[in-house]
Chains A and B, each alone.
Chain A
C-alpha cells in the first residue's frame, strides 16, 4: 500500500510541468518511438531493449566494455555436449512481485518463448532453443535444436527470465502492462506507447550490472527531435538520445549539456539485386556494375560530414566488433573515374536508370543517390516505411536499396552475415558457395573454424561486391550537467549506470 501511495504521488508530481531532477531524484528521459509492448519478447525496437535490460535479467551478462561473459542469474554454466547447456542458478533472487527465482522460472520462460506458435516477435532470438529441463531447484539444462555457438551471446542479450507463475497468468499483454522481472528497476506505471515510470529495485541482487543509483526514471515518448530539444532547454527533460549529429554538435557548444557519442552496431549498406530477382536484365546482376557502385561513393566524406562521431567506414557485411567479422577483405576506394570505366566495360557507357529505395535517414540516402548520379546512375528515389520496403524486398522487387542492420546488438557476425546470405527471403545474392561456408561457420563449435569460414564468406561477398557496405552508425546522448553517464558502444541505454553529479 505504501508503495502505491508513493507511486501515485510520484506520478502526480511528474505529470505537472515539474522540474523534476536531482532534487527529487527523478530522471526525465525521452523515447523517440512508441514502444508497442513492454514485454521484451513481443517488441523489436531499441526502446524495448532499453527497458528489457532495466527490468529483467538474463542468465548471463556480457560486460559491454570488455565483452567478457559473466554470470548474472546463473552463477556458472558448462556445455554438457554440443547441444546442451547446464546452468547453476543464483540463489536468493526474487522477482519484483516477491516470487522467488528458481529453475521453474527458467524452464517455463524457455519453453514458452521457444515455442513458435507463441509468436515471439524476433524468432531468431529464441528459435535455436528446443526446451529446458529442471535438474534440481537451482540447476537447469537448456537443450538446443542444433549446434549453436552464439548461444552464450543470445543468453546474455535478448533472452531474459520471466516469473513462471505470474507469466502463466498474465501472458504477454499482462506482462506488457505490468511488467515483473528481477532487474535493477521495477516498472511502477505504464501508459502503453506513451509513458513509463521506473523505480529503483532496492532489493536488487549482487549483479554484474551494478546497483541502480537514481531512484526514479520517468520516460515519455516524444517523436519530434525539436520538441525534445525544446524540453531539455526548458528543463522538463534531463536526458535525450539518438540526437542527430548536426543538432548534437550545436548542443555540445552549450555549457549546460554534456554530449556523449558512442558507436552502435548498426551498419548502413547498399543492397543490390545480384541474383536478378527484380528482372533478368537488371544491371546489378553484373559484378562490374556492383563494383562501380562501390567505387562511386565517397564513404569517408559521408562519415566526416554527415554521421560524424564514432562512425567509421565499413568494408564487410558485419560490424567490426562482432566475432568472426574479418576486416582484411577487398575494399573499394572512392574513385568516380574508375566507376565510370567499370560501367562502360559492363555495357553502360552512359550509365542507366534505376529505382532506389530507402526507409530511414533520408539525408544519407539522398547524399548516396547524388554520388550515384555523378557517375551516371540516375535514380528514381523511393522512400518507404520499413515494413513496406521489407515486403517489397522479400518479393525480390528491389534493384538497389539503402539498408541498415543493427544485429540486435548481438556481438557475433552470424547475426548479420548469416541473416542475409543464407538464401532467406532477404538474400539478394543467392550464392550457393556462401550458403555452404556460412553453414559451416554457424554450426561449428570451434572458434577457429568459425573465423576461417566467416572470413572466406566475407571475402567472397567483398570480391563479388554483392553489397556496398557504407558506414557504422553512432548515437548521440545529450544530458544535463547534473547527470553522469558513460554510453556503451551497443546502443543500449543503461539506467543502472547513470548517477547524479
Chain B
C-alpha cells in the first residue's frame, strides 16, 4: 500500500511483488498439479458435448457391462459400458459437469452467505458478533450429511435441490474464517485512516477490508468446493442426490456397487476420478494458501 510513495522501496531494484508471486507459483509443484487437473477437468466439462464419444443417455441393453479397453474391451467404448449399456467414458465426462457445477455453485452460495455474516461480525462486533457466533455454533452443531439427507428426502432429490441444500449448509467455515480475518484487518491503521477521512462503511468494507482478506476466502472456497463435491457424490450414492438418468459420479459408484465382486472397474473408474478431482482441488487450495499467505509475502 505504502510502497509506491516510499522513496526507499521505489529505488530498490529487485523483483516486484508480482514477479515474486509468479516465481513462488512456479516453484510450488502441488499448486501446479492441482490447477492443472482442475483446469483440465473444467475444460472437459465445458466441452463435454464435443468430447464425449457417445450420447451419455443412449441405452443399449444388449451391450451391457462391456469391459474397458485395458481389460479386453474395444475402442468403441474405451471405458466400457454400464449396467444399461451406456458408454462409461461419456457418462464420466458429463458427470464432471454435475460435480463441478455443484461444487462451484454450492461454494459460491455458501461463500456469499458465510462472507457476509463473517465480515459483518468481525467489523461491527458487539451484538452482531454475538448473533453471528451463535448462528455459527448452531450450524456447527448440526451434522451436515444428516441434515442434507433429511432435507433431500423430504424435498426429493434433484440437481437444484442438492445445490441449494449444500449451498445453505456449508457456510460455516466461511463465516468463521472471514470473521477472524476481518477482526484482524479492521484494527489496522489504514482502516482507521479511512474511517477518519469519513469513508462510509460499505466503502471501507469493500475497498479496505475485502482486498486484504481475499486470499483467505480463496482458500476456503476451494476447500468447500471439494467438500460439496464429495457430499454430492455421497448423496447420489445413497440415491438421494442427482436422479437418474443424469450422470453423476456418486451415482455411477452406487450403480456399480452390486457388481463390485465381479466387475470392480465399474466402481473403481468413477471412484478414481472423484478422488483425483477432490485431491486436485485440495492441492490447489493448499498451494494458494502457501503462495498468498502474508507471512510468506515478503
Contacts and interface: CB of A to CB of B under 8 A. Distances in A.
B258 A247 contact: yes
B244 A362 contact: yes
Contact of A382 (B64, B83, B243, B260): B243
Interface in B57-99: 57, 59, 61-62, 64-65, 83-85
Given A370-B84, A373-B245, 15 more contacts: A226-B260, A229-B261, A244-B258, A246-B262, A247-B262, A250-B261, A250-B262, A301-B62, A362-B255, A366-B84, A366-B244, A369-B244, A369-B245, A381-B243, A381-B245
Given A370-B245, A373-B57, A226 B84 contact: no
Contact of A246 (B61, B245, B257, B258): B258
Contacts of A440: none
B212 interface: no
Interface string A382-422: 11000000000000000000000000000000000000000
Contacts of A362: 239, 244, 255
A363 interface: yes
Nearest to A229: B261
B84 A247 contact: no
Interface size class for chain B? Answer: 20 to 34
A353 B65 CA distance: 29
Given A225-B258, A246-B259, A305-B61, A380 B158 contact: yes
Contacts of B39: none
Nearest to A382: B156
A93 interface: no
A380 B159 CA distance: 11
A11 interface: no
B239 A383 contact: yes
A226 B245 contact: no
A251 to B, nearest CB: 9
Interface residues of A, number: 26
Nearest to A355: B156
23 contacts: A226-B257, A226-B258, A226-B260, A226-B261, A230-B261, A246-B83, A250-B262, A298-B61, A301-B61, A301-B62, A302-B61, A304-B61, A305-B61, A306-B64, A363-B83, A366-B244, A367-B61, A367-B84, A369-B244, A370-B57, A370-B84, A373-B245, A383-B239
A64 B272 CA distance: 49
Contact of A370 (B59, B157, B239, B258): B59
Contacts of B65: 246
Given A226-B258, A226-B260, A246-B83, A305 B244 contact: no
Contacts of A369: 244-245
Contacts of B259: 246-247
Contacts of B255: 362-363
A362 B255 CA distance: 9
A363 B84 contact: yes
Interface in B193-239: 239
A306 B239 contact: no
Contacts of A370: 57, 59, 84, 245
